[in-house]
Structure 1
Amino acid sequence: MIQIRRGTVVEARATGHGLTDLVVEIAGARERAISYDMLTGPVDVGNVVVLNTTAVALGLGTGGAHIVMAVEGREQPGDVSGHAMKLRYTPVQSSVDAIEQTRSDALDEVASLQGMPVIAAGLHSALAPAVVAARAIDPALGIAYVMTDGGALLMAFSETVPALREAGLLDTTITAGQATGGDIEAISIYGALAAAKAIARADVVVVSMGPGNLGSGSRWGHASIEVAAIVNAVTALEGTPVVVPRISFADARERHRGLSHHTLTALSLALARAQVTLPSLAPERAAEIRDRLEEVARKHDVIEVDLGTAEAALKGSPVPLRSMGRSYEDDPDFFRAAAAAGVHAATLARARR
């Protein structure tokens, strides 16, 4: 079900990347909200807004803000020049220019990724450490990010993506499936990967959902399971899939402590062989992770990666590193695991040039 309330905007701050942070007054209480420029247009102090308050009412994690559905009394003419619909059959369905339509001449020529390394991550928070590490190995790399529709559907919700762009670390963004807001809009993950090669001219690609992983505590009930499908897609297009294992020694939840069950489930479902990268770990931790990986190691290649200069790059990252509310200092091995994938992918890419 959906909870909808009305509020009055008392503070508004444009972020500059398609999202506006708001404070709204609802029944005398001041609460945080956000609006997406592409859906509502600009929202100003004094506007009366219609809000989706469902997630806050449920106390859910990522975001912690109401979402503006509409500004009362305003029509939104919008640009409807695109011929592909995203957020389909919802009140906010939007038209985009899909790259498979506008550049079919270039994409139809992509029969193979020719071994291009593609990092598959189950959490959006792996994006920054993977990119920072890859850049530390080779600053000249072309790096593209493909955001799937497994988490947030609008790229504007991500704080990581604009931070990476402003730091000069990320070259191109692509939104695939129902996700929207990237430099390039793709209908499918296959179109997104083809565009990364033919249009973005990327050397390394990172694929993950946007912020807001959905989990249930059960084997099959988590959005990170899409890593299996990403591995299969990359292999079908003759790329090299590099999987980020979700590692944490700070998570209090047993199912995520050490090696997360999300990683194990996705690797067990992948039909193609992937390279699973591990950073160097304390001996007892390394043994624990390898024991957990033993059941899937027959299907995949487990590779230990020396982070080298990427270790210092992580510690001095110009982009904030956070996952599940924890910083690099709180949970270094989570970020080092993502960095290992970045180092390995960059090394593979450099060897291909």
Structure 2
Amino acid sequence: MELLSYKEGIVTRINESDDQVAWVNVEVEGESAKAVNYNAITGYVNEGDKVVLNTTAIELGLGTGGYHFIIFNYKNKEHSITKGLGHIMKLRYTPLQFKCFAAEEQDSKYHEEFKSFKSLKGSIYIVGTLHSMLAPIAAVIKNLRPELNITYIMTDAGALPLHFSKTVKLLKDKEIIKNTITVGHAFGGDIECVNIYTGIIAAKVVANSDITIITMGPGIVGTDTKYGFSGIEQGYIIDAINNLGGISLAVPRISFADKRERHQGISHHTLTILNEVANTKTNLVLPVIKGDYAEFIDLQIKENNINNKHNIIFENGSDIIKALNYYGLEVKTMGRGYYDDEVFFLALGAAAKASIRLLENVQ
């Protein structure tokens, strides 16, 4: 059974780097390729270093951005565990397992708050399915209400290292997002948590978040089957929020630019989640649109009984383009920008605006 492909290479150039990650060029079997190095796992990397690379994704032609991943640096032959707090393992029982300090574990100053936790008391959580939803939603919220504290929870349904996302770094640098939380086997957030439930709680008791956005990192998994996609997590995340006493908003995946029939209008992903996976009632936010598109979506809602299962909120999402321009964000989803897939982005603007209205009602 073939699971992993790896080859030796030489680092030829450091393209970008910070304390957490380096984006480099490597030479592998006489050819140049791009690679990623996570400093916390394999140590810092320099030009000329001989490294071992996980080449699986490139060989399979997967959508990981065209990168190899450094899994060993011969220069860093010995690397002792960092002393200090934390005993929760991520990537457990794999050759790359490592420890982190989870917010809820016994040595954490927040441990008692998790133990005594009772309710989210109406805190606002926006739940999406694509990483490309994050920046537009956060930008609209921050543009309309600059004083709000926005937290991002990254699940482990896509990329596991938070630092693979250049979007998150940009949002942090622009002070659009204040705190990040990584849950499950995702890692690298300002706050680490064992699972989505404690991540949701941490947004309230640790990050003191006003509005929290939850979605996976880059790289949704799909199989062209009804249930075989990683975004299905939206359903049980909605249930977690509701069960903990929060207010959940479901962001629909909507497109009229996607050529695949199953993603026309409201994607089958969203319809499946809201009709069959989520067991509690959420707030589904739809953008105000007109004409054939509106009729198409209205028919989908009725045919899938979504209007009887969930609370549907219609909101004007047109603030999205102003917010993106204000912060200088060039966001694409499946390679399409705002003017290529307008309704997709209007849905994100609508979700952001609806979350502010709900927050004002709670306050």
For the aligned pair, the TM-score class normalised by the smaller chain equals over 0.9
Shift of 1:308: 5.7
Equivalent residue letter for 1:110: F
Please say if residues 8 and 26 of structure 1, whose CA atoms lie closer than 8 Å, have aligned partners that are also in contact: yes
1:98 maps to which of 82, 98, 102: 102
Shift of 1:279: 1.2
Task: Give the Cα separation in 2 of the matches to 1:293 and 1:78.
Answer: 53
The one-character-per-residue Cα deviations of 1:163-208 (angstroms, maximum 9, x if unpaired) are 1111110011000111110000001111111111111111101111
2:311 maps to 301
2:280 maps to 272
Q: Per the alignment, do residues 80 and 211 of structure 1 end up closer, same or farther by CA in structure 2, a change over 3 Å counting? A: farther
What TM-score does the superposition give when structure 1 sets the normalisation length?
A: 0.96
The one-character-per-residue Cα deviations of 1:239-280 (angstroms, maximum 9, x if unpaired) are 111011001121111111221111111112100001111112
Task: Give the Cα separation in 2 of the matches to 1:310 and 1:207.
Answer: 18
2:28 maps to 26
Please say if residues 143 and 205 of structure 1, whose CA atoms lie closer than 8 Å, have aligned partners that are also in contact: yes
Shift of 1:311: 4.4
Please say if residues 23 and 30 of structure 1, whose CA atoms lie closer than 8 Å, have aligned partners that are also in contact: yes
Shift of 1:17: 5.8
Instruction: Find the residue that maps to 1:235 and give its secondary structure.
Output: helix
1:55 maps to which of 54, 57, 81: 57
Q: How many residues align?
A: 353
Instruction: Find the residue that maps to 1:85 and give its secondary structure.
Output: strand
Instruction: Find the residue that maps to 1:150 and give its secondary structure.
Output: coil
Task: Give the Cα separation in 1 of the matches to 2:19 and 2:330.
Answer: 17
The one-character-per-residue Cα deviations of 1:305-330 (angstroms, maximum 9, x if unpaired) are 02364442134442331111222222
Task: Give the Cα separation in 1 of the matches to 2:307 and 2:79.
Answer: 53
1:87 maps to 91
2:80 maps to 77
2:249 maps to 242
Unmatched runs of 5 consecutive residues or more in structure 2: none
2:47 maps to 45
Instruction: Find the residue that maps to 1:234 and give its secondary structure.
Output: helix
The one-character-per-residue Cα deviations of 1:92-126 (angstroms, maximum 9, x if unpaired) are 11111110111111222321111111001011110
1:213 maps to 220
Q: Per the alignment, do residues 322 and 177 of structure 1 end up closer, same or farther by CA in structure 2, a change over 3 Å counting? A: same
The one-character-per-residue Cα deviations of 1:34-87 (angstroms, maximum 9, x if unpaired) are 111111111111011101111111111132100111112522224153211111
2:137 maps to 130
What TM-score does the superposition give when structure 2 sets the normalisation length?
A: 0.94
The equivalences for 1:157-196 within 5 A come to 157-196=164-203
Instruction: Find the residue that maps to 2:116 and give its secondary structure.
Output: coil
Higher relative contact order structure (alpha carbons within 8 Å, sequence separation ≥ 6): 1
Please say if residues 180 and 191 of structure 2, whose CA atoms lie closer than 8 Å, have aligned partners that are also in contact: yes
Please say if residues 49 and 75 of structure 2, whose CA atoms lie closer than 8 Å, have aligned partners that are also in contact: no
1:331 aligns with 2:341: yes
Task: Give the Cα separation in 2 of the matches to 1:257 and 1:57.
Answer: 31
Task: Give the Cα separation in 1 of the matches to 2:125 and 2:101.
Answer: 24
1:115 maps to 122
Shift of 1:14: 3.5
Please say if residues 107 and 194 of structure 1, whose CA atoms lie closer than 8 Å, have aligned partners that are also in contact: yes
Task: Give the Cα separation in 2 of the matches to 1:178 and 1:253.
Answer: 31
1:322 maps to 332
Please say if residues 2 and 52 of structure 1, whose CA atoms lie closer than 8 Å, have aligned partners that are also in contact: yes
Q: Per the alignment, do residues 281 and 317 of structure 1 end up closer, same or farther by CA in structure 2, a change over 3 Å counting? A: farther
Equivalent residue letter for 1:167: K
Please say if residues 137 and 347 of structure 1, whose CA atoms lie closer than 8 Å, have aligned partners that are also in contact: no
Equivalent residue letter for 1:195: A
Q: Per the alignment, do residues 199 and 313 of structure 1 end up closer, same or farther by CA in structure 2, a change over 3 Å counting? A: same
Task: Give the Cα separation in 1 of the matches to 2:231 and 2:143.
Answer: 27
Q: 96-105 vs 71-80, which deviates more? A: 71-80
Percent sequence identity over matched residues? 38
Instruction: Find the residue that maps to 1:227 and give its secondary structure.
Output: helix
Shift of 1:224: 0.4
